Amino acid sequence: MIRVWVGLATMMGATALAGCASPTATAVPTATPDIAATVAAAVEAALTRTTPAPTPDIQATVIAGVQATVRALPTIPPSPTPSSTPTLTPSPTRGLMAAPRLTELVAQVRPSVVRVETNLGSGTGVIFQTDPGDRSALVLTNFHVIDGASQVRITVNDSVVFDGTLLGVDQLRDLAVLRICCSADFMPLPFGDVSQVEVGSEVIVVGYALGIEGQATVTRGIVSAIRDDEDADRQVIQTDAPINPGNSGGPLLSLSGEVLGINTFAIRSSGSGVPVEGFGFAVSQVTIESVLPSLVMGGAVALPTSVPLPGLPGGLYQNARFSYSIQVPPGWNLDASFEEFVQIWDQRTGALVLIIVEEIDPVRYPALDSYLADWEPAALEGWTDFRIVAERRIGAAQTVQAQEFLLTFVLQGVPHNAVDHWYVRSEYLIQVLAIGAVPVWDLERYSDVLDSLELSLYSFEPLG
């Protein structure tokens, strides 16, 4: 713009001087300049005509720069991926098999645990060997389960019934082997190794407790101890897993499904009459496998000749100290180690007669009625849901009378019935208590046991 205005001033000055130099001449008229057009032309000439540069694409420029930088970086070789060290699968060791879940274990062993029924009662057994050739199987159970039976029937997998043939027995160690035939579905269970079992190891008991219809009952516990039973020349496993009548002959199993022992008996009370729990016993695998070859071949081991118990002529037990007698049924056991607490029991079912003598105040309680005014039966230790169902006076026509109570209770989860007779004799209360699980009282198959139980109960007779 400076350039424009300077040129315009020069042009204007030149015009003025020319007009002063020729005052006398007639001026030739000139066209009046178009100031606006002149200025516009000057402006246009002064401006530089250039092609505008395009606006740069900044984003594309940055991306290209980054890519170029990355391409310039040296290539780093990938780190090698370490190869994993292969896990070695240990060779299976007997007695240390991997344990499946409990539900899987139960499903696995059920087909091998069988119900053993005789014309005298019932129990449990386990298939331990099969013969693919003739499709037979060998069953291990307790001797006392089949003792004296004229017929043995074995139910496999809760569905198919087979006749059992007795092969061999060991009365001393309470074992028996039976043969059944024929099925391709027989499934044996392996024996474990008790030498590798520690006290505190978990175990399960599978068996037909109380002879209840349907599937076998499963209970769980631990190995409480491993003991030598010198009287029966055997090793036994003590467990707190509940073992009830009907479990006899069934397997005590590890959590890997191996047979550690054959459930045989349980102790229900101490020698002084205190109820106890968790005292179940199974004949150990160590003992079983030491005699099994002989049993399979038809061997027999009889009980050693026993010395008759004092005061037991003709099955009659007499207690001189407390002046009474009572019948001991054939085949039942008697424990009179403590004269004030005598036990008579059937090992097969656990049916039990107790004779308990308690000292009382003869002045305050001279007769039965005075004692009954203050006292009534109460639950023993371990009994739950205890009830007195009924009571009555018996022996009304006799010199010595008793009060009879009908009781119900639950012991270790099993319903029981009991009949309790109370006698007051001088300074003593004498209780004669007949106890049995409910099936002993209700099921026809246990009618012989019930007859023996009641025979012993009502045979009690105070002397003198």
Q: Who contacts 152 (Cβ-Cβ below 8 Å, separation ≥6)? A: 116, 117, 118, 146, 163, 164, 165, 166, 178
At residue 254, what is the residue type?
S
Residue 45 CB: number of other CB atoms within 10 A?
11
Catalytic residue (one of 112, 144, 254, 284): 144
* 1 class by beta-carbon count within 10 Å (0-12 exposed, 13-18 middle, 19+ buried): exposed
Q: 239-254 in b/e burial notation, b at 16+ Cβ within 10 A?
A: bbbbbbbbbbbbbbbb
> Which entry of 174, 224, 284, 456 is annotated as an active-site residue?
174
CA–CA distance, 282 with 263 (Å, rounded to integer)? 4
Residues 112, 122, 224, 248: which is the catalytic one? 248
| Rounded to 5°, angle at Cα 190 from 187 and 194 | 155
Cα separations in angstroms, 91 against 4, 94, 195, 293:
109, 10, 19, 27
SS3 254: strand
Distance CA 148, CA 155 (A): 20
Q: Is 144 a catalytic residue?
A: yes
In the 8-state DSSP scheme, what is residue 323?
T
SS3 category, 301: strand
CA 247, CA 187: separation in Å to the nearest integer?
Answer: 20
Alpha carbon distance 193, 139 (integer Å)? 19
Q: Which residues of 169-187 are buried (b: 16+ CB within 10 A; e: fewer)?
A: bbbbbbbbbbbbeeeeebb
Residue 448 bears catalytic tag = no
How many residues would you count in the chain? 464
Q: How far is Cα 144 from Cα 303, in angstroms, rounded to an integer?
A: 12
CB atoms within 10 A of CB 391: 16
Annotation says 421 is catalytic? no
Helix, strand, coil share (%) of the chain residues, nearest 5: 25, 35, 40
Distances 243 to 46, 222, 235, 423 between C-alpha atoms, Å: 121, 12, 18, 33
Q: Which residues are catalytic?
A: 144, 174, 248
